[in-house]
Amino acid sequence: MEKMTIGWVGLGTMGTPMARNLLNKGFQVCVYNRTREKERELIKLGASSANSLQQLSRISEVVITMVTDDLAVEEVYNGSNGLLADPSPGTLMIDMSTVGTRISKKLAKDCGIKGVRFLEAKVSGSVKPAEEGQLVIMAGGANADYSRALPVFEVLGKRSFHMGEVGIASASKLCLNYFLGLTLQGLAETVLFAQHLNIDTEDILNLLNESALGSGITRLKAQTILSNDYSPAFALKHITKDLTLVQKEGMDFPLFSPLLTSFQRAFQMGYGEQDAISIIRFLVHDFKNAAPFGGIISNKN
C-alpha cells in the first residue's frame, strides 16, 4: 500500500528525529523549517522541501507541526502564506507542539472554517525516545482523524492514546509536565541537600535510582548531572513555558508558585537554552551564599 505524503513543519530537537523516522519507514516527507539550513540533513536522506508553508499544505495529505509554543503555532497556521492560507480540502493537520488548550481549540476551529481536519497529538519523551520511535502520544480530536493518523503514530511512538476531543490532549500533556517540573526541581534539591550532608553525588543518585523513587526521568537526568553536560534534550525554556501554561489553566496548589518562580528565575539568569535539569546549576548559583551546596555542580555554561 502506498504511504501517505507527510508535510513536516519544525525541525528542532524533536522534529528532526521524528521526521527522520517517517522517512526511514518509507513515508514521502516534505519539510519546512523557518531556519532553512536545518532542512539539509533530511533532504540528504530523501525528503523534499517546500518553498512556503502554503505550498507544503497544498501538497501534503497530512501536515504535522512540531514548533515551540502558542505564538509559533499561530504564526505557522494563520500567518500570511501560512498552512491555512490556501489548504487542500480534507488535509489532516496534526499539531504535536506542547501548547495551551485554548490555542488547540482555536486551531481546530480555524481548520474547520478552511475545510481541513485537525488533530492535536502531544508527546511524552525526549530526544532518545524520539530517535527510537518510542514516544508516548496523547491525541485529541475526532475518531476518524485519530484512525487516519495511526500509521504515523505507530512509527513515532510506542503507544498512542486517544483521550477525547481537541483540548484534552493538551491538558493531559500539561499535567505530565507539571509532574516533570516537580520531579526536576525535587531531584536538583535532593542532590544538593545530599552534598550538604557530605554524601557523594554518584552514590545518592545510584541509591535513588535503585529505590522505588527512581524513574525514567531521574535516571536520565542523573546521567546529565554526572557528565556535567547540560546540552538540551529538553530545554529549560520549554519547561518554563509549560509551567506558565499550567498557571494559565488555573493551577493553584502550594508547590506550584515556588516551582514556577524557580524556573522563571533560572530562565532569566540565562539557563533557558540548557537542559531543564540545569535548574540544579541555577540553585547552586542562587543559594551559594546560603549554605555550602553545590560541590561538584558547576553553574558555569
- Residue numbers of the site for ligand NAP (CB under 6 A)? 10-15, 33-35, 38, 66-69, 72, 75-76, 97-98, 123, 126, 233-234, 238
What pairs with residue 119 in β-bridges? 94
Written as one letter, the residue type at 280 is I
Q: CB-wise, 9 or 192, nearer to ligand NAP?
A: 9
Q: Which of 155/194 has CB closer to ligand NAP?
A: 155
Q: In angstroms, rounded to a whole number, what is the distance separating the alpha carbons of residues 204 and 222?
A: 10
Q: Least distance from C-beta 49 to ligand NAP, angstroms?
A: 14
Query: ∠ CA(34), CA(55), CA(70), 5° rounding?
Result: 45
Q: Dig out the grid coordinates for 275 from the structure.
A: 537542559
Element (H, E) at 239: helix 236-248
Please identify, using beta-carbon distances, which residue of 176 and 199 lies nearer to ligand NAP.
Answer: 176
Element (H, E) at 71: helix 70-78
One-letter amino acid of 1: M
Tell me the residue ranges of DSSP E strands in 73-168: 92-95, 117-124, 135-140, 157-164
Q: How many CB atoms lie within 10 A of CB 127?
A: 16
Cβ 106 to ligand NAP shortest distance, Å: 16
The nearest distance, CB 189 to ligand NAP, in angstroms, is: 22
| Minimum CB distance to ligand NAP smaller for 157 or for 294 | 157
C-alpha dist (Å) from residue 137 to 87, 134, 164, 173: 26, 9, 13, 9
Let me know if 122 is a catalytic residue.
Answer: no
**Taking CB positions, which residue lies at the least distance from ligand NAP?**
12
Question: In terms of CB distance, is 42 or 284 closer to ligand NAP?
Answer: 42
Three cell numbers at 190?
535532593
What is the smallest separation between the CB atom of 97 and ligand NAP, expressed in angstroms? Answer: 4
Residue closer to ligand NAP by CB (options 123, 166) is 123
Q: Are 61 and 5 in contact (CB under 8 A)?
A: yes
We find the least distance from the C-beta atom of residue 144 to ligand NAP, in angstroms, to be 25
Marked catalytic residue, from 106, 114, 173, 221: 173
Q: How far is CA 279 from CA 192, 230, 299, in A?
A: 11, 10, 10
Dihedral, 266, 268, 269, 273 alpha carbons, nearest 10: 70
Catalytic residues: 173
